[in-house]
A and B are shown apart, each in its own frame.
Chain A
Amino acid sequence: MKKDVTTSAIGIVVLTLLLGILYPLFITGVSQVASPGNATGQKVYVGGKLVGSKIIGQQFAVQVVKHGKPQVDKNGNPVTTPDPRYFQTRPSATVPPDNAAATTFSNLGPNNVATEQAIASNIQAYLALEQPYDRGLTKAQVPVDAADSSASGIDPDISVANAQIQAHRIAAVRRLSLARVDSLVAQYTHGRGLGFSGEPGVNVLELNLALDRLTGGH
């Protein structure tokens, strides 16, 4: 009994040092040397300024201004509207949307009225944004990723179908040909992992930054 207590007491301290301090430090050391870009979050800079992480979704929206005053909601978060010059990420359940410092699921159940309302309003918002530029777009063509909220709340990707619909708006607003935008979408589409695992997707941040480079941000 006494022996077990001694060994346990020493053991938990020694193993904490080994597994809780030494092991993470070792992994950190090796990664910072071997793959510093990844280890620090694949930061993306524009003109020397940090604008995001390549693999973290962000909101491409602007704050609503009424009577010269930027609008905030009751929690002090900015009230935003999508910036039509940019491809939009998936619906997010975090507060505010795409908050990578407090991620959360929507936790909306499959048979709940709240879920139906959330999805219906996502569809409506999507159509309101895209239909003016893609007259033939119907509810039936809205891809699921544009209406269902993501798991992480910061999904960096959208589906190819979603990007191709948004391409109509981007082409019109940025005065580019649809073919040009579509080829850019294709360029930033990644395939399945190892060719079979998961789904193809389009990295929204990379695509938007490529657009900015192409048209100088307009």
Chain B
Amino acid sequence: MTFAGWLTIFLFVAILTAIALPFGRYMAAVYTGERTILDPLFRGPERILYKVLRVDPHKEQDWKAYAKSLIIFSLAGWLLLYLILRTQTLWNFTGLNPQHFHSGTWDVTFNTTSSFLTNTNWQYYGGETTMSYFSQMAGLTVQNWLSAGIGIVVAVALVRGIISRSGSSLGNFWQDLIRTILYVLGPLAVVYALVLVFQGSIQNFSHYLSFNGVTGLANQIGMGPVASQEAIKMLGTNGGGFFNTNSAHPFENPTAFTNFIEMLSVLLIPAALVFMYGRMSGNRRQGYAIYSTMMIMFLGAVIVAYIAEAHGSPAQHAAGLHTHVFAGSTGGNLEGKEQRFGIAGSALFNVVTTVTSCGAVNSSIESFTGIGGAVPFANLSASEVIFGGVGSGLYSILLYVLLAVFIGGLMVGRTPEYLGKKIEGREIKLVVLGLLITPLTALFSTALATASSAGRASISAAATGPQGFSETFYAYLSQANNNGSAFAGYTGYIQPNAGNLGAHGVKLADILGGFTMMFARYAPILFALAVAGELVGKRVSPAGLGTMRTDNPTFVVLLIGVIVLVGALTFFPALLLGPIVQGLTGHLY
């Protein structure tokens, strides 16, 4: 561990909070229809889009109408993306397939399509060996935007349900989505993509570079429109890399400076949404309480991961490698990590992208130490509530807040109330169902994949002993949480040569994974919207002496307790079998 490492972590938290606060204020203005500074720029395009899409932005939707629009639009997106990926060669006339890649097989395309629709961006394919530039842009980049937008609008709808004083309206899905794209994601993505280029990311449509290197060996370098996809990939907590090695690739993440910005960009919107919620609820302290909850758990994860990675792995020590820091050497477990990021920059990136649903990686999670690798497991086990995905983080933690309010109410023997609204049996049933779907899906899929030989076919040859179970468990935990990071030795696509020709999918992994992602994405969304629908019409009673406060440290402790309890009780047995065994033994398998 180094001073610079700890300083990075400290400054990261400070800068994040400093920029998320004003951005949360801005987002609150966007979703309450107040004037924003970008109105002069985007009012026109906004109106044109309403007209072209035949949307009446003033038409209020109840939760069922809101959900129906969301589901039908997602279905349309799924079909178009699947079509684009399966007809990759058909688009060669655009000149955006310079390497002449064939189309992917149906099984891996099913997985990929479901993955990008659900903001997961789990990737069994390697970008630079399978995807044309056209597929990356018109197919994958588009869903990077839209899946992020959908996550955000669901959170906004739930917030409206909680704070609304009357009626049944949650707003208008189309208006929310379009405003999210234009006012929130759009300006950030454009500026950010250009910053990435200025720092060294590439943005072109060239053939791959072929040349003889300095010593005369043949070399080939993948090209493409990388920066535009990278920007929205991080901002929207998507995480699907343009290249196979994701944000470790120098073209996606050229310097330690871009690494820092990329980490900030992942947490910016999830953090700002929390502050937005505080503002919209009329009591900013509600937002601060949730932010503190998230930040405490986040810091815990970062500290453990950094210390663990700085200590090195049993395999390094057995090979006789010394892993202490000395002048000019980072020390620690640098297997699967880049020199320019070092240990702290890799550990922090890893925690940032696994507490959210981002799933981008700048280092190989599979090569993290047992305890270092247990951190992403634990982050995923908390069901995406430590900041979480854009939108999904806020709506998930709000469900946890309701559960904590309910449990707290029972403990003190009063009718549970949240922001003046009574929380009753019906809401709590929906909340619990919404919260349990993700863990249950993860465990069910892991069990199926571990118990069947068709599932075990995906485990990499080098992953002997507990590592094989870790790979499998992580795969389904990540997909169920719509995260997308991987113990990347786990295979769902066998490709003898670049370009999809002669390749075939590992069917169980592809199909089970695809369904896991979709079920664990859309079912919680529907429950969150249903909870919003229940709450929206409830009368608000004034706070009295007996009202349990939800904006003080006591509640923060209660909320952390509930999250940890649910996560730990659900996942602890499975975690013991994989990463914890490895972290405790130091034994080689």
A residues with CB within 8 A of B: 1, 3-16, 19-21, 23-24, 26-28, 30-32, 34-35, 38-43, 46, 49-53, 55-63, 78, 80, 83, 86, 90, 98-117, 119-120, 123, 139-145, 147-164, 192-194, 196-201, 205, 208-209, 212
Point out the residues of chain A lying under 8 angstroms from B366, CB to CB.
105, 107-109
Binary per-residue interface labels of chain B (322-354) against chain A in the complex, 1 for a CB within 8 Å, 0 otherwise: 110011111111111111111001100000000
**Pick from A112, A141, A157: contact of B340, CB under 8 Å:** A157
| A interface secondary structure, majority | mixed
Interface residue B211 (Cβ < 8 Å from any Cβ of A): yes
B462 and A107 form a contact (CB under 8 A): yes
A-B contact pairs, 27 of them (CB 8 A): A8-B75, A10-B52, A11-B76, A15-B142, A31-B197, A34-B198, A49-B212, A52-B211, A59-B213, A61-B217, A83-B215, A103-B126, A108-B366, A108-B367, A111-B314, A119-B319, A119-B321, A120-B320, A139-B321, A148-B321, A150-B336, A159-B329, A161-B329, A193-B258, A198-B341, A200-B328, A212-B214
**Min distance, Cβ A101 to any Cβ of chain B, angstroms:** 4
Count of inter-chain pairs, beta carbons less than 8 A: 423
**Pick from A12, A78, A147: contact of B76, CB under 8 Å:** A12
Point out the residues of chain B lying under 8 angstroms from A208, CB to CB.
214
The CA-CA distance from A51 to B216 in the complex, in Å, is 9
Q: Give me 10 other A-B pairs in contact (C-beta within 8 A), A7-B174, A192-B4, A198-B342 excluded.
A: A11-B53, A12-B77, A27-B225, A31-B227, A38-B197, A40-B204, A105-B248, A106-B335, A152-B245, A197-B260
**Pick from B255, B315, B342, B363: contact of A112, CB under 8 Å:** B315
Binary per-residue interface labels of chain B (307-321) against chain A in the complex, 1 for a CB within 8 Å, 0 otherwise: 000001111101111
Q: Which 4 A-B pairs have the closest CB atoms?
A: A198-B256, A193-B256, A161-B328, A199-B342
A196 and B4 form a contact (CB under 8 A): yes
A114 and B462 form a contact (CB under 8 A): yes
| Given known A-B contacts A10-B52, A193-B257, A108 and B335 have beta carbons under 8 A apart | yes
Point out the residues of chain A lying under 8 angstroms from B389, CB to CB.
none
Point out the residues of chain A lying under 8 angstroms from B363, CB to CB.
151
| Given known A-B contacts A24-B225, A109-B582, A112-B463, A119 and B214 have beta carbons under 8 A apart | no
Point out the residues of chain B lying under 8 angstroms from A140, CB to CB.
322
B334 and A43 form a contact (CB under 8 A): no
A111 and B313 form a contact (CB under 8 A): yes
**Min distance, Cβ A177 to any Cβ of chain B, angstroms:** 20
A28 and B209 form a contact (CB under 8 A): no
A52 and B213 form a contact (CB under 8 A): yes
A101 and B220 form a contact (CB under 8 A): yes
The B474-501 residues at the A interface (CB cut-off 8 A) are: 487-489, 498
B residues with CB within 8 A of A: 4, 7-8, 11, 49, 52-55, 68-69, 72-73, 75-77, 80, 126, 128-129, 137-139, 141-142, 145-146, 174, 181, 189-190, 193-194, 197-206, 208-209, 211-223, 225, 227-229, 243-245, 248-251, 254-260, 312-316, 318-323, 326-342, 345-346, 361-364, 366-370, 372-373, 460, 462-467, 470, 487-489, 498, 582, 585-589
The CA-CA distance from A110 to B363 in the complex, in Å, is 14
Which residue of chain A has the shortest Cβ distance to B323 in the bound complex? A144
Point out the residues of chain B lying under 8 angstroms from A192, CB to CB.
4, 256
B589 and A113 form a contact (CB under 8 A): yes
A144 and B321 form a contact (CB under 8 A): yes
**Pick from B327, B346, B589: contact of A161, CB under 8 Å:** B327
B220 and A46 form a contact (CB under 8 A): no
Point out the residues of chain B lying under 8 angstroms from A63, CB to CB.
216-217
Which residue of chain A has the shortest Cβ distance to B185 in the bound complex? A19
Which residue of chain A has the shortest Cβ distance to B174 in the bound complex? A7
Which residue of chain A has the shortest Cβ distance to B346 in the bound complex? A151
**Min distance, Cβ B131 to any Cβ of chain A, angstroms:** 13
B339 and A158 form a contact (CB under 8 A): yes
Point out the residues of chain B lying under 8 angstroms from A39, CB to CB.
197, 202-204, 227
B339 and A90 form a contact (CB under 8 A): yes
Which residue of chain A has the shortest Cβ distance to B211 in the bound complex? A50
**Pick from B142, B216, B222, B463: contact of A101, CB under 8 Å:** B222
Point out the residues of chain B lying under 8 angstroms from A10, CB to CB.
52-54
**Min distance, Cβ B31 to any Cβ of chain A, angstroms:** 19
A110 and B250 form a contact (CB under 8 A): no
**Pick from A86, A108, A158: contact of B462, CB under 8 Å:** A108
B257 and A149 form a contact (CB under 8 A): no
A62 and B367 form a contact (CB under 8 A): no
**Pick from A50, A106, A197, A200: contact of B364, CB under 8 Å:** A106
Which residue of chain B has the shortest Cβ distance to A195 in the bound complex? B4
B249 and A120 form a contact (CB under 8 A): no
B200 and A51 form a contact (CB under 8 A): no
**Min distance, Cβ B122 to any Cβ of chain A, angstroms:** 15
Point out the residues of chain A lying under 8 angstroms from B582, CB to CB.
109-111
Point out the residues of chain A lying under 8 angstroms from B321, CB to CB.
119, 123, 139, 142, 144, 147-148
Point out the residues of chain A lying under 8 angstroms from B320, CB to CB.
120, 123, 139
A156 and B250 form a contact (CB under 8 A): yes
The CA-CA distance from A84 to B221 in the complex, in Å, is 24
A27 and B227 form a contact (CB under 8 A): yes
**Pick from A1, A15, A116, A199: contact of B588, CB under 8 Å:** A116
| Given known A-B contacts A12-B76, A196-B8, A113 and B217 have beta carbons under 8 A apart | no
